[in-house]
Amino acid sequence: MVKIYSTPTCVYCKTLKGYFKKNAIEFEDIDISKDEQQLQKMIKDSGQMGVPVVDIDGEVIVGFDKVKIDTLLKINQIKHD
């Protein structure tokens, strides 16, 4: 399960969601600007107030860390000789 904690005005959030869509990754988008309870959960889990925060099966990633995200989701891991 992939969750992204985001806000509507966050450019990096939009970029990350577009990246997930391009790679056919299903995700739950949690708008923390409208849900105080989810905001507090995100802060507790990540130690951060900034977005995006991604939760991939319990592994929390702060920001659009493409290398970590690709590794956890096995995106683009085919080696070409």
List the chain domain ranges: 2-73
pTM for the full model? 0.88
Q: What pLDDT score was predicted for residue 72?
A: 94
Positive or negative: CA dihedral 57, 78, 65, 28 = negative
**CB-based burial label for 6 (10 Å; 0-12, 13-18, 19+):** buried
Q: Tell me the average pLDDT across 5-30.
A: 96
What count of Cα atoms within 13 Å lies in the side-chain half-sphere of residue 9? 3
Q: Is the pLDDT of residue 77 over 90?
A: no
pLDDT band at 81 (very low <50, low <70, confident <90, very high): very low
CATH among 3.40.30.10, 3.40.50.1970, 3.40.50.880, 1.20.140.10 for 2-73: 3.40.30.10
% residues pLDDT > 90 (the chain): 89
Tell me the C-alpha distance between 66 and 73, whole Å. Answer: 10
Q: Tell me the average pLDDT across 46-66.
A: 95
Q: What pLDDT score was predicted for residue 75?
A: 87
